[in-house]
Structure 1
Amino acid sequence: MSAGHAHTEGDGHDHGAAHAHGAGGEPSLELVFSLACGVALLAGWAVERWGLAGPMVARACYVFAYVAGGWFTLREAFDNLKARRFEIDTLMLVAAVGAAAIGAWAEGALLLFLFSLGHALEHYAMGRARRAIEALAELAPERATVRRADTTEDVAVASLVAGDIVVVRPNERLPADGFVVVGQTSVDQASVTGESVPVDKEAVADAQAALAGFDKLAARHRVFAGTVNGSGAVDVMVARPAAESTMARMVKLVMASQQQRSPAQQFTEKFQRVFVPAVLVGVALLLCAGLVLDEPFTATFYRAMAVLVAASPCALAISVPSAVLSAVARAGRSGVLVKGGAPLQHLAKVTAMAFDKTGTLTEGKPRLTDAVPVSGVTDTELLALALAVEQSSDHPLAGAVVHGARERLGDQTVLPQVQGLRSITGMGVTGQVDGRPVHIGKPALFQQDGAPPPAELLQSNEALVAAGRTTMLVRHGERYLGVLGVMDTPRDSARGVVEALRAQGITRLLMLSGDNQRVAEAVAASVGLTEARGDLMPADKVQTIAALRAEGAVVVMVGDGVNDAPAMAQASVGIAMGGAGSDVALETADMALMADDLTQLPFAVALARRTDRVIRQNLWVSLGVVAVLIPSTIFGLPIGSAIVFHEGSTLLVVANALRLLRFRGPA
């Protein structure tokens, strides 16, 4: 309602929010004052209407209504004037005093009653949205059971430090961010990540290594403060103190994000800075209308006060902040962290969306996708030899081969004995099996020893490379066994997400990758993207985003929040995957998908578009009412009617904004 309420919490104008909800759900003091104003107004009107007492009694009721209804408004107006701001609170007080000066005590009291009631309801609405966010921070328990050697001890959660072991019993809330070191369970972590089903958790193999690399720990080990344990009892090692938990940081970032002004908020604030002084000047000119018109000064003064009431853009001041805060709170409930109104409004207008490949569109870890033996060799022979050799290698691709081969062969296959295993830097590995050398590696490895691969094998290798695979040839002695294909496979949800984004009208969907162009094209084709650009360094991604924006596109960059941070900063909106596990993701992006779940993207776009529509609706209503009321009051609309329409529009925009808290997702 007042411009003062559109400011951030640090500007000294948020006392109403502090009263928005008393302890135990009691009504706010501001609402009590407003209702007292209404009761006094009704009593004064009844005394006048039916002559229940003398005029002084009615006047006393109105004076009391003025005091009760104007108390908080006067405080805000005083703060605004100290800051050299002429804002809506000041206009309301001037209008109320002016009404009293012409004897329209009832109209002035009605103005203050509706204005103060609107204030209280506005603070309730804003407070409700804030509490939807702040309530997350209160989910974590205050006490925790810490394991000390052979005993346990009950301690305050605030005293926990990294490395402490806490005991979490079935159905208890997790006291801190950490990872499971003993036991198995499932955890309901919807309050942090928005996931609708519990997530299975298991113990880590090396607790100290997990503590050092907590951000990179797999989701099956990691737990978060405030989430709910399932039926299994577990021991959890604390990775972060309570003040630095994911949930606590989410709340801090969201509350800080209110300082980021969206384009609509910037417009309303600039509008008010020009409009309010213009209204004061216009009212001063209207007070001089008696010099031109043949009418008593009381009529001139009444008209000027009516225009003053009509011209105060209360609804305009609250229309954007209420919508933004409601949307941010709604997004947070679904595991989408939004840092203010600007990202929401930009996301609503997105025309191009760029994705990092590794860890964003793909799982972020290679898998064995193909094992193609040459004629006369079985799959089992090829995979058994590869498994025997690679299981002693520490190369990332070796892990993919080992895991994939074991899945395909099972536990019954007898593996040959490998001796003399050594790595050939940048090429592959070699060893001895049954007295003959074994080589597994890049095709280039086999061009150097005078025994080139047969044409059949080269054709199979070329087909896999064309499909985006990283390939390894396998040779035992002089005999080639086949080729293995390894690939960082797309997420299961990637294609469905891309289709949903297309359905939302985003037709330009790109992948930006540091992998070679063939791999990039293969992954892009598998998930349905329109463009793929490979062989890109981080600086190249920034240039690509900049070129898209130069063409007039509103670009969203979706990445992992680490090496994609420069590109996300260059984009209109940067969205980080896996905010629940990454400090960098939370700090660098405009938005973060807390659960590392691509399916939240279409929801975020739909919410942004709905928010943008609500903001536009609110702006049209608030500006439209002012545009209609100003000429209406000039031509005789009474103050009482102007007040009803004016404050009614304020309540309407607040109610419209609160609808965002119930947003369900894309239709």
Structure 2
Amino acid sequence: MDKVKDISHSENLIFGKRTELYFAILCGVFLSLGFFIEKGLDLPRWIAILSYGMAYFFGGYFISIEAYKKITKGGFDIDFLMIAAAIGAAYIDSWAEGALLLFLFSLGHALEHYAMNKAQKSIEALSDLSPKVALVKKNGQIIETPIEDLKVGDTIVIKPNSKIAADGVIIMGNSSIDQAPITGESMPVDKTAITSIDNLPEFKHIDKTHVVFTGTINGDSNLEVRVLKLSQDSTVARLIKMVSEVETQKSPTQRLTKKFEKWYVPIVLIVVTLLCFAYVVVDETFKESLYRAITVLVAASPCALAISTPSAVLSGIARAAQKGVLIKGGKALEDLGTISTIAFDKTGTLTEGKPKLTNVIALNNFEEQELLQIVLEVESLSNHPLAKAIAKDIEALHNIQFKDLAREIEGIQGKGITAKYKDSKVFIGNLKLMYDEGITVDTIVKSKMEGLLRDGHTMMLVAFKNELIGLIGVMDVPRKTAANTLKKLKSIGIKRMIMLTGDHQNVGDAIAKQIGLTEVKGNLLPEDKVAEIKKLLARDGKIAMIGDGVNDAPAMALSTVSIAMGAAGSDVALETADVALMSDKIENLPFVIGLSRASKRIIKENIFISLGVVVVLVPVTILGLTNIGLAVLFHEGSTVVVVLNALRLLAYKK
């Protein structure tokens, strides 16, 4: 994170945050201009040298700053060696070669640094979950209060369809709460007021049907909530803390050449210094020894080595972008190809993320069309998300039109709804509602209902004129492409695929059975997902986590590579993720893993090529068997080969 801060200060010079990138581009512009003047125009050479000098300034500015900082801490790195090589090239009048070295190296530097503020963005996005103010009830009055000023024991009022401002327990009112931002549950959860607030147990031990979390969304009813956690201790605050902690554990993308800096740079500097005094033991002049030393310095400058990784990374990222996949940096691109274990969130990742009408079963010889008409009329009057989904699907899938035949709808908290249809009572809800209304449910119907519940469906009974007339079921259904995607992942070597979900275990098991997933962990809160990821990391070493919700952010940030579903994903998941499937197509996952493996292979090839040239060229120049022109030719030739090899990734199709 310190490096990010340093960069942000240095970038705010002329062009704002992109100053370093623009400086690298200007270096290339002046390099091209100088070369054109020197080779194509009949002008004094000092004009070309002036242009090369400008290229030196723009290309070397940020590299010099970083080299200076490293030197003041007692170390030398490739930044220093590149500056030394460029100065040496200028000293022996090889200005173009020096400027080219600086251009290629500074461009790679700038692009690497550009996306290093991901951690800060993810934390800011998490902070937006929590409302800024709460409505506190004091002495019968409602006072708007900043959430930082809330105290444990305060009573806050939650208006319909608004965000909940604190973790607490409901003391008045009943409502349906959308907990997806925190738990990832696909269905809103019915919440009721606790019967007594005397001698409350710890927050984590209170029945979940009575507690609410910061950042979740209230339904259609007013609530009064007793605050049990301060804002800094809320569930959202914990998410922010988790993301902050695990983000700081991740280093920014490192070029593979960094591994060589500790020994490579000092050795080159020592050899070059000794060669300056070769005339003492070799029959040559000081000028000849100096020329040989500078030739070695140019030959040994790791330009091809430095560009080998960034060129492949940029090509890989560009190819991924063409397929609607955003990859945030080289580390994610390289790491993804080493993954053999993937953890999936369920809702919005393996499933559509919204309830669908899955079952309509007419009972007791009742006409299915009439059953659907009754359900449509009643559910159309309700604002409950499930009711809206049922009404929408009845109209879309069964071609039945709303006729406004129902009246006097009433919600029965925790049980269902009732209304009048053609002056007769309709009840839609659970078994408890039917029992309370004296409606008979035989064992065959109960058995059928329990079987569907085990398969992950949310089931409702429908009664009309005091008689059971049907069963309806809804479910967050699997994505159409999920099963085939899992097969492809298995075929390319992904050994373990685990579903981590905040939904009930039986819901997760049912989805997994449909798409061919064998391992499911259900009923997980965000911290539980983090614990599961830690276990998988300890066992498998590396793991990818793919999700779409805020509740996935801490687990995603802890994983080796985090992948966000794009269009359906939350801002937090996208900011936290290393990879985002922007088109929201999970079927792109096998492609991007294959691309990652190809990128890693090309990076290895590039390093082999660049090191191979250095290994051959340095001894040849030390022995004086070549001149500066030939050294530069081989040196820059290896750079061209490395770049062309990397560009092959742009044509990747598998």
Amino acid corresponding to residue 97 of structure 2 in structure 1:
L
Residues 360/385 of structure 1: CA separation in 2 closer, same or farther (3 Å cut) = same
Aligned positions of 1:280-359 closer than 5 A: 280-288=269-277, 301=290, 303-359=292-348
Q: In 1, Cα distance between the equivalents of 2:28 and 2:624?
A: 38
AA at the equivalent of 1:651? V
Describe the superposition over 1:85-125 as per-residue Cα deviations: whole angstroms up to 9, x where unpaired.
5623333246447xx7xxxxxxx44x543343455577789
Measure the CA separation in 2 of the matches of 1:365 and 1:124.
45
Query: How far apart are 1:461 and its partner, in Å?
Result: 1.0
Contact 2:354 2:476 in 1 (8 A): yes
Distance 1:320-1:38 versus aligned 2 partners, 3 A rule: farther
Q: Equivalent of 1:540, from 502, 505, 528?
A: 528
Q: Equivalent of 1:515, from 489, 503, 507? A: 503
Residues 82, 102 of structure 2: 8 Å contact kept: no
Aligned 1:124-139 pairs, distance under 5 A: none
Task: Indicate the SS of the match to 2:260.
Answer: helix
Q: Deviations over 1:6-36 (max 9, x none)?
A: x9697579989537768xxx98222121344
- How many residue pairs were aligned? 504
| Counterpart-to-counterpart distance in 2, 1:600 and 1:487 | 25
Does the CA-based 8 Å contact 2:24-2:110 persist in structure 1?
yes
Alpha-carbon shift at residue 294 of structure 1 (Å): 7.1
**Change over 3 Å in CA distance of 1:619–1:588 after alignment to 2:** same
Pairing 1:114–2:115 present: no
Give the Cα–Cα distance (whole angstroms) in 1 for the partners of residues 96 and 524 of structure 2.
63
SS in 1 for 2:473: strand
- Report whether the alignment pairs 1:388 with 2:377: yes
Check whether the contact 2:319–2:652 (CA below 8 A) recurs between aligned residues.
no
Residue of structure 1 in register with 2:171 after alignment: none
Q: Any idea what the Cα deviations from partners look like across 1:267-312, whole Å, max 9, x if unmatched?
A: 4235336422321112223445566667776665555444323322
Counterpart in the other structure of 1:446: 434
Q: Summarize the alignment of residues 625-664 of structure 1 with structure 2, pairs less than 5 Å apart.
A: 625-640=613-628, 641-660=630-649, 662-664=650-652
Pairs within 5 Å for 1:598-617: 598-617=586-605
Mapping of 1:145-544 within 5 angstroms?
264-265=254-255, 267-269=256-258, 271-272=260-261, 274-288=263-277, 301=290, 303-411=292-400, 417-433=405-421, 437-448=425-436, 451-544=439-532
Kept after mapping to 2: 8 A contact 1:469/1:519? yes
Give SS of 2:459's match: strand
Seen in structure 2, the aligned counterparts of structure 1 residues 508 and 580 have a Cα distance that, compared at 3 Å, is closer
Question: After superposition, what is the alpha-carbon deviation per residue over 1:119-165, rounded to whole angstroms, capped at 9, x for unaligned?
Answer: 5577789999999xxxxxxxxxxxxxxxxxxxxxxxxxxxxxxxxxx
Q: 2:28, 2:265 → 1: CA distance?
A: 32
Given the alignment of the two structures, is residue 72 of structure 1 paired with residue 55 of structure 2, yes or no? yes
Cα deviations across residues 44-76 of structure 1 (Å, max 9, x unaligned)? xxxxxxxxxxxxxxxx97x88877656634775
3-state SS of 2:377 partner: helix
Q: How many angstroms apart in 2 are the aligned matches of 1:288 and 1:117?
A: 28
Q: How does 1:55-66 map to 2 (within 5 A)?
A: none
Separation in 2 of the partners of 1:302 and 1:30? 23
**Per-residue CA distance 1:206-260 (angstroms, 9 max, x = gap):** xx99xxxxxx9xxxxxxxxxxxxxxxxxxxxxxxxxxxxxxxxxxxxxxxx9xx9
* Contact 1:126/1:325 (<8 A) preserved: no
Contact between 2:562 and 2:577, CA under 8 Å: does it hold in 1?
A: yes
Q: Does residue 572 of the first structure (1) align with residue 560 of the second (2)?
A: yes
In 2, Cα distance between the equivalents of 1:11 and 1:315? Answer: 26
2:578 alignment partner in structure 1: 590
Deviation at 1:549, TM superposition (A): 0.9
Inter-partner Cα distance in structure 1 for 2:645 and 2:392: 54
Indicate if the aligned counterparts of 1:625 and 1:645 stay in contact, CA closer than 8 A.
Answer: yes
* Correspondence for 2:22: 18
Are 2:607 and 1:619 aligned? yes
Unaligned runs of 5+ in 1: 1-6, 44-59, 101-107, 132-207, 210-215, 217-256
**Alignment correspondent of 2:81:** 88
Using the alignment, how far apart are the partners of 1:11 and 1:285 within structure 2? Answer: 36
Q: Quick one: structure 1 residues 474 and 643, their matched pair in 2 at CA, closer, same or farther if it must change by over 3 Å?
A: same
Q: Secondary structure at the match of 1:421?
A: strand
What letter matches 2:427 in structure 1? H
Alignment CA distance shift 1:407-1:560 (3 Å): same
TM-score where L is the length of structure 1: 0.65
Q: Distance in 2 between matches of 1:89 and 1:276?
A: 10
Q: Report deviation, 1:507.
A: 2.9
SS at match of 1:535: coil
Structure 1 position 548, deviation (Å):
0.8
Q: Provide the rounded CA distance (Å) in 2 between the counterparts of 1:343 and 1:27.
A: 28
TM-superposed deviation, 1:583: 3.5
Superposition deviation, residue 406 in structure 1: 2.6
Deviation at 1:470, TM superposition (A): 0.8
**Whole-angstrom CA distance in 2 between matches of 1:71 and 1:408:** 68
Identity of aligned residues (%): 39
Shift of 1:425: 0.7
Query: Secondary structure at the residue paired with 1:539?
Result: helix
Task: Give the letter aligned to residue 442 of structure 1.
Answer: N
Contact 2:358 2:474 in 1 (8 A): yes
Q: Aligned equivalents of 1:334 and 1:356: distance in 2?
A: 22
Assess if the C-alpha contact under 8 Å between 2:29 and 2:55 holds in 1. no
Using the TM superposition, give the Cα deviation of residue 472 of structure 1 relative to its aligned residue in structure 2, in angstroms. 0.8
Pair 1:528–1:37, CA change in 2 (3 A): farther
Aligned counterparts of 1:524 and 1:410: Cα–Cα separation in 2: 31
Distance 2:456 2:355 in 1: 12
Closer/same/farther in 2, CA of residues 315 and 412 from structure 1, 3 Å limit? closer
Does structure 1 retain, via aligned residues, the 8 Å contact 2:533–2:555?
yes
Letter in 2 for 1:362: T
Residue by residue over 1:443-463, the C-alpha shift from the partner in whole angstroms, topping out at 9 and shown as x without a partner, is: 343345665511221222122
CA distance in 1, matches of 2:402, 2:327: 51
Seen in structure 2, the aligned counterparts of structure 1 residues 381 and 284 have a Cα distance that, compared at 3 Å, is same
Match of 1:551, SS?
helix
When residues 9 and 117 of structure 1 are mapped into structure 2, their CA distance, relative to the original with a 3 A threshold, is: farther
Taking a change above 3 Å as real, the CA distance of residues 278 and 8 of structure 1, as seen in their structure-2 partners, is: farther
Indicate if the aligned counterparts of 1:129 and 1:325 stay in contact, CA closer than 8 A.
Answer: no
- Give how far 1:648 is off: 1.2
Could you say if the C-alpha distance between residues 288 and 649 of structure 1 is closer, same or farther in structure 2, counting changes exceeding 3 Å? Answer: same
Q: Which amino acid aligns with 1:278?
A: I
**Displacement, 1:433?**
4.5
Contact 2:456/2:510, CA 8 A, preserved across alignment: yes
Query: In structure 2, do the counterparts of structure 1 residues 483 and 76 end up closer, same or farther at CA, with 3 Å as the change threshold?
Result: closer
Distance 1:82 1:364, change over 3 A: closer
Cα deviation, 1:333-366, whole Å, max 9, x if unaligned, reads 4433332222222222222222222222222211
Change (3 A) 1:270 1:483: same
Distance in 1 of aligned mates of 2:569 and 2:253? 31
